[in-house]
A = this chain, B = another copy of it.
Amino acid sequence: MPWIRRDITLRPRPRGFHLITGEIVEAVPELRAVRVGLAHLFIRHTSASLTLNENASPDVRRDFETWFNAAVPEQFGGWTHTLEGPDDMPAHIKASLLGPSLTLPVADGRLDLGTWQGVYLCEHRDAGGPRSLTVTINGDTGTGG
């Protein structure tokens, strides 16, 4: 099958962790034709990131925000890159700890995640604005057999 590529713009979200699985699936209808393959989600920023975690309890996402703020504090004495505001340098570190991309199995036309897995947009800035994602998919369509 030909490679599929889609650019998605996510609306601005408040700082924190947000479940976006459904939004991504809706934005890539070509997914439905893939029998077995991989989907690559890539965020085009250095102060927001993507991760996969629990898709049920909102308190899990809240606790993510609490822990990351404690682990990478704005008040850390070592920052020298402070020109872009106190939330900027912590956002860069958090983004690298979580990573800019996810590669996910695709099966029978859908993202083939575990029962409790969902895609999080991790917004590390106070006012990050809209965020751009690139989704790239390759796989077998199964039409050949």
Contact = CB atoms under 8 A, between A and B. Distances in A.
The binding surface of chain A is classed by DSSP as mixed
A79 to B, nearest CB: 6
Nearest to A96: B51
B116 A45 contact: yes
Given A52-B96, A53-B92, A100-B102, 8 more contacts: A3-B36, A38-B136, A45-B114, A46-B53, A46-B116, A53-B95, A60-B81, A63-B78
Interface of A: 2-3, 5, 36-38, 40, 42-46, 51-54, 57, 59-60, 62-64, 66-67, 70-72, 76, 78-81, 89, 92-93, 95-105, 107, 112-117, 120, 132, 134, 136, 138-140
